[in-house]
Structure 1
Amino acid sequence: MMQRKFKHGLTVIALAGTALFAPPAQAQGSDTLVIARSMDVNSLDPARAFCDTCQFYLTAVYETLVTLSADNETLVPNLAESWEVNADFTEFTFHLKDATFADGSPVEASDVVWSILRLKNLKGSPSFLMDGLVSAEATDAKTVVFKLDAPSSEFLNKISASYAGVVNAELAEANGATAGDDAAETDKAEPWFLANSAGSGPYKLASYAPDAELRMAGNTDYYGDAPKFSEIVVTQIQDAVSQAQALETGQADIAMQIDPDTARSIRSQDVVTEIVPSYNFVYIGFIPGAKGMADVITPEVRQALALAIDYDGMLDFTVGGNGKKQAAPIPNGFPGTAGLIPREQDVAKAKEMLEAAGATNLKLVAGYPNDNVYGVDFNIMMQKVQQDFAAVGVELELKPLTWAVWRDELGSGEWPITAIYYAPDYYGSAQYVQYFGMIEGFPWAGRAGLGHPELVVNPAEAGLYQQALASSGEDAEMLYTQLGEEMMKDAIILPLVSPNLVLAYRSDIEGVRYSACCNLPLAEISRK
């Protein structure tokens, strides 16, 4: 996750941070766009990649059938010029416009079918997006029909996710890619995708060096409006202060991980900073299935610990008030969240509940990644949690870990509490139920139960989830509100803060915005 984005057990490539950098050319006034960020690339293969950097890279290189407009809610045509959905949300038909891949070959329905089946069958981190897909068929060269095993009013939203980008099937197959049912075992194309691309977007991969930079070249044969830059360079700069320095000196055009405090320190009139709400959030998660915790981290104890946290103080402590509290593990502004009431601290009630549960003198361990995500220093955040737990008589040992160690220990039951973050893959609330819902077979239910689903599964959620997917509009919003309330009752996932996002860029750059599906839409960015 992030920043490192870590959602579904993906492999994260560790990148060395540097204070500053020496790009091949000064960014300002050139035909090269330079973006400074701490990269979190786990793969450049659309069906395997799963990270923040991956989102905007894939969106620039691999186009999706539909995409999210600037209002962050409305879907608009992309490779598909039109589409139809049947009455019960089980069949989706897309009609393609005339488009070409970077090698000049036409984008055809067969490429779409191959790409989506590969996303499903490769069993990579983003494969969950295609859960429930039973068939994909090209009825002619420009028409694709998808059929689902159950209603899903969010399938259109899922198709807008950057990981659903369409790949040149013939080129990818020639380099080891497969899309069949056995793709997880037979596909050998991941190394090829680290050095090559096969998309239809305005940019294509030029080179990738895991310890330094990601380079994209403008697709001079792009069928649409010409790319605004001949080259885009994403350069590795680890911390916010160094990113700000790169902006002020003109060595970078955009910095993606500047926190509000650092933004306030920027004095250059050549740098623009905007603070905008985001759909990102950081949270702690309880793992009742951890070693010796089945009779300790009970629902009553989890609810008590949820009451122990000072959420208002956490907001000030972590981001200086530049963010919002969040009630459930569904971001503010997503369907169903308007009716959810954020938790409030109640120390007296927390102590009472812990005593009633026989959980006095409780000692717990929190293992979490040692990182700074969305301007939130996880060590500082967890020190605040430690402080709040101590106020109700609970001792919390903090165990900051490298990403590699955290990933290995996450599924081993070494500690009962962790901390992590989440950013949307598309606009829609179902993804959060599908990930955080205490429904057997869902990621966090498995992560929290560790082979003992009875410790965490909430029987009410599965039915509500299916009803929500079969609904739309106000009916769906009402059901997502109920799901949010149930997830709050679970008290497995406790959102701590939804940080605001800082958009920071040189004043001669325009088109910079935050996207719920794509992070940073590179195709819209230009130099004045």
Structure 2
Amino acid sequence: MKTLRSTLLASALALPLAAPLALADTPEGVLVVAQNIDDIVALDPAQAYEFTSGELVTNLYDRLVQYDAEDTTVLAPGLASDWEADAEAKTITFTLRDGATFASGNPVTVDDVLFSFARVIKLNLTPAFILTQLGWTAENIDQMVTAEGNTVTVKYDGDFSPAFVLNVLAARPASIVDSVLVKEHEVDGDMGNAWLNENSAGSGPFKLDRYAPAQMVRMSANEGYFNGAPEIDSVIIRHVAESATQQLLLEKGDIDLARNLTPDQIASIDNAEIKVETYPQAAVHFLSFNQKTESLTPPAVWEAARYLVDYEGMTNSIIKGQMDVHQAFWPKGFPGSFDETPFTYDPDKAEQILGDAGIETPITVSLDVINAAPFTDMAQSLQASFADAGINFEILPGTGSQVITKYRERSHEAMLLYWGPDFMDPHSNAKAFAYNSDNSDDSYAATTTWRNAWAVPEELNKQTMAALSEADPEKRLEMYRDLQQKVQKDSPIVIMFQAAYQVAMDDDVTGYVNGATSDFVFYRLVEKG
């Protein structure tokens, strides 16, 4: 009966919006979410690198060690029950958990771990860099990750602490896949990549029932999950790009959660059966300038831009309750953050900076932006405030996947986007915002420095790597603070805000967890009263 209810609901949710839904309440045991999910490019953990993809991977897969729904600040045992680190030998040995199984019913074995890690390295897709920084290559991976009995020994090659390595192994691409199932779906040597972008092969609390791009995702509970079966039978995530439609569906009772409401909509909710929860986020929002565009290369343009953002105006209106002013690459509230905000909206000062540098205005620049709230509103604010100093933005809206793809191609001029750490260590963002050792077009790097074609000064490159290897914890954090201050002052990346995420939900929904990053969104503990 539960399966029939879920099927009927999924069919109803697939109807065009012109046909009003006739549901009074969502079915018992089914959590229905309205969310803009058009940023999804891939679901395979070896390829997934988008925010929504990260949420899904977290709910479908496990890692050897992981941050869990019950306490997202604690690195907890996952598929490994325990581990032992040898800093001198640069190894960590993991003992696999007894009795863990994949959703398919296949047991989790050391062979799955070896296959999963090697697969990420050999496919070498976008998030592979997270693991390759451990010194792993397609040629040496079989020597760097080995197994004996029920243990897996991970060897790393780099001057960093075991704590850093554990954080890397808690990241998305370190998810363990069912090697037996994936091999059955390999086509033309793709190691199951095409199949895993439409299906799942994990041991996580949920399994993927259906994914229809830019339409919906349906996951059902993995009853054999080692950490206890989810409280909810299934989760349906419906793609609803329009925030106004999300609010309408929530108020009608056709969905349980609305993930993308604007501050105005949040403020307008007047319904005793709807509650709003706020979750601090690690994502930082920025404006960046592609250094392939000649008019955007003078440092005076970068400096002036910092005084042309109406920080307070936006946080007091269009992004109120959803973002706070933050001007450094590591988010406030995490060890090593630099929390000074020296820049304010001052168009006169910006004009003076441009004039003193001999910059001729007006400058016309295309600005790529995700065509959804609040990004389009933010882009319009930037368009108005930058025009005060003769920098004219031509806004180019697109879907999340279109904008991100363009960014990865370095084919934009200016970009309004956001960035979250790949793992919870300040090096994750330092490498993204303060490091670029090879700026050539054929040396793709999943960093905002490379994507903006910014040839980072060698001094910053060296300091970024020195901070990574610093053994003294407090000194290491101070090095990251200094890096942030330097990037804040002088780079083509203008960091403006830190996200604070608001989710509106039916009052009878409890247990939803939305941690600081997309990898910390959990449905496992959700209950409906």
TM-score, normalised on structure 2?
0.85
Following the alignment from structure 2 to structure 1, what is the Cα–Cα distance between the partners of residues 426 and 475?
Answer: 13
Match for residue 235 of structure 1 among 231, 235, 238: 238
Q: Quick one: structure 1 residues 254 and 402, their matched pair in 2 at CA, closer, same or farther if it must change by over 3 Å?
A: closer
Following the alignment from structure 1 to structure 2, what is the Cα–Cα distance between the partners of residues 479 and 90?
Answer: 23
| One-letter code aligned to 1:383 | Q
| One-letter code aligned to 1:231 | S
Match for residue 210 of structure 1 among 210, 213, 236: 213
Q: Does the CA contact (< 8 Å) of 1:60 and 1:521 recur in 2? A: yes
Matched, 1:147 2:155: yes
Query: What SS does the corresponding residue of 1:158 show, helix, strand or coil?
Result: helix
For residue 30 of structure 1, report the CA deviation from its aligned partner.
Answer: 0.6
Q: Quick one: structure 1 residues 172 and 510, their matched pair in 2 at CA, closer, same or farther if it must change by over 3 Å?
A: same
Matched, 1:366 2:363: no
| One-letter code aligned to 1:129 | I
Q: Quick one: structure 1 residues 86 and 464, their matched pair in 2 at CA, closer, same or farther if it must change by over 3 Å?
A: farther
Query: What SS does the corresponding residue of 2:238 show, helix, strand or coil?
Result: strand
Matched, 1:166 2:166: no
Following the alignment from structure 1 to structure 2, what is the Cα–Cα distance between the partners of residues 18 and 435?
Answer: 40
Following the alignment from structure 2 to structure 1, what is the Cα–Cα distance between the partners of residues 62 and 21?
Answer: 28
For 1:53, the equivalent position in structure 2 comes to 52
For 1:10, the equivalent position in structure 2 comes to none
Per-residue Cα deviation, 1:143-200 (whole angstroms, up to 9, x for no partner): 22222221334322222223321101122112117xxxxxxx9315233224432111
Following the alignment from structure 1 to structure 2, what is the Cα–Cα distance between the partners of residues 211 and 484?
Answer: 36
Matched, 1:419 2:416: yes
Q: Does the CA contact (< 8 Å) of 1:107 and 1:168 recur in 2? A: yes
Q: Does the CA contact (< 8 Å) of 2:308 and 2:350 recur in 1? A: yes
Following the alignment from structure 1 to structure 2, what is the Cα–Cα distance between the partners of residues 194 and 505?
Answer: 29
For 1:343, the equivalent position in structure 2 comes to 343
Greater shift in the superposed pair: 398-407 or 193-202: 398-407
Following the alignment from structure 1 to structure 2, what is the Cα–Cα distance between the partners of residues 229 and 25?
Answer: 19
Greater shift in the superposed pair: 406-415 or 390-399: 406-415
Match for residue 431 of structure 1 among 418, 428, 431: 428
Q: Does the CA contact (< 8 Å) of 1:327 and 1:341 recur in 2? A: yes
Q: Does the CA contact (< 8 Å) of 2:108 and 2:178 recur in 1? A: yes
Following the alignment from structure 2 to structure 1, what is the Cα–Cα distance between the partners of residues 477 and 275?
Answer: 36
Match for residue 276 of structure 1 among 279, 288, 293: 279
1:15-414 to 2 correspondence within 5 Å? 19=17, 28=26, 30-39=28-37, 40-69=39-68, 72-87=72-87, 90-98=90-98, 99-133=100-134, 134=136, 135=141, 136-153=144-161, 154-176=164-186, 186-187=189-190, 189-290=192-293, 292-293=294-295, 297-320=297-320, 322-372=322-372, 375-378=373-376, 380-401=377-398, 406=403, 410=407
For 2:449, the equivalent position in structure 1 comes to 445
Query: What SS does the corresponding residue of 1:279 show, helix, strand or coil?
Result: strand
For residue 359 of structure 1, report the CA deviation from its aligned partner.
Answer: 0.3
For 2:504, the equivalent position in structure 1 comes to 504
Q: Quick one: structure 1 residues 283 and 20, their matched pair in 2 at CA, closer, same or farther if it must change by over 3 Å?
A: farther
Q: Quick one: structure 1 residues 338 and 27, their matched pair in 2 at CA, closer, same or farther if it must change by over 3 Å?
A: farther
| One-letter code aligned to 2:528 | R
Q: Quick one: structure 1 residues 396 and 198, their matched pair in 2 at CA, closer, same or farther if it must change by over 3 Å?
A: closer
Q: Does the CA contact (< 8 Å) of 2:305 and 2:494 recur in 1? A: no
| One-letter code aligned to 1:36 | A
Per-residue Cα deviation, 1:127-154 (whole angstroms, up to 9, x for no partner): 1211223244233242222222213343
Following the alignment from structure 2 to structure 1, what is the Cα–Cα distance between the partners of residues 133 and 127?
Answer: 14
For 2:463, the equivalent position in structure 1 comes to 464
Q: Does the CA contact (< 8 Å) of 2:322 and 2:502 recur in 1? A: no
Query: What SS does the corresponding residue of 2:307 show, helix, strand or coil?
Result: helix
Following the alignment from structure 2 to structure 1, what is the Cα–Cα distance between the partners of residues 244 and 92?
Answer: 47
For 1:477, the equivalent position in structure 2 comes to 477
| One-letter code aligned to 1:384 | S
Q: Does the CA contact (< 8 Å) of 1:157 and 1:427 recur in 2? A: yes
For 2:10, the equivalent position in structure 1 comes to none
Q: Does the CA contact (< 8 Å) of 1:88 and 1:151 recur in 2? A: no
Greater shift in the superposed pair: 210-219 or 411-420: 411-420
For residue 81 of structure 1, report the CA deviation from its aligned partner.
Answer: 1.7
For residue 322 of structure 1, report the CA deviation from its aligned partner.
Answer: 4.3
Query: What SS does the corresponding residue of 1:301 show, helix, strand or coil?
Result: helix
TM-score, normalised on structure 1?
0.85
Per-residue Cα deviation, 1:314-344 (whole angstroms, up to 9, x for no partner): 3234313642111122222233214544423
| One-letter code aligned to 2:160 | S
Per-residue Cα deviation, 1:416-463 (whole angstroms, up to 9, x for no partner): 3221122333322212122222422353333222xxx6xx32212222
Q: Does the CA contact (< 8 Å) of 2:263 and 2:321 recur in 1? A: no
Following the alignment from structure 1 to structure 2, what is the Cα–Cα distance between the partners of residues 20 and 499?
Answer: 33
- Tell me the number of residue pairs that the alignment of Structure 1 and Structure 2 aligns: 495
For residue 413 of structure 1, report the CA deviation from its aligned partner.
Answer: 6.6
Q: Does the CA contact (< 8 Å) of 2:41 and 2:401 recur in 1? A: no
Greater shift in the superposed pair: 474-483 or 490-499: 490-499
Greater shift in the superposed pair: 302-311 or 164-173: 302-311
| One-letter code aligned to 2:36 | S
Following the alignment from structure 1 to structure 2, what is the Cα–Cα distance between the partners of residues 190 and 88?
Answer: 36
Q: Quick one: structure 1 residues 194 and 23, their matched pair in 2 at CA, closer, same or farther if it must change by over 3 Å?
A: farther
Greater shift in the superposed pair: 62-71 or 397-406: 397-406
Following the alignment from structure 2 to structure 1, what is the Cα–Cα distance between the partners of residues 220 and 410?
Answer: 45
Query: What SS does the corresponding residue of 2:277 show, helix, strand or coil?
Result: strand
Following the alignment from structure 1 to structure 2, what is the Cα–Cα distance between the partners of residues 385 and 223?
Answer: 48
Following the alignment from structure 1 to structure 2, what is the Cα–Cα distance between the partners of residues 457 and 19?
Answer: 47
For residue 249 of structure 1, report the CA deviation from its aligned partner.
Answer: 2.2
Query: What SS does the corresponding residue of 2:318 show, helix, strand or coil?
Result: helix
How large is the RMSD of aligned CA atoms in angstroms?
2.8
| One-letter code aligned to 2:156 | L
| One-letter code aligned to 1:419 | L
For residue 27 of structure 1, report the CA deviation from its aligned partner.
Answer: 5.4
Following the alignment from structure 1 to structure 2, what is the Cα–Cα distance between the partners of residues 333 and 18?
Answer: 42
Q: Which runs of 5+ in 2 are unaligned?
A: 1-13, 439-444
Following the alignment from structure 1 to structure 2, what is the Cα–Cα distance between the partners of residues 390 and 249?
Answer: 42
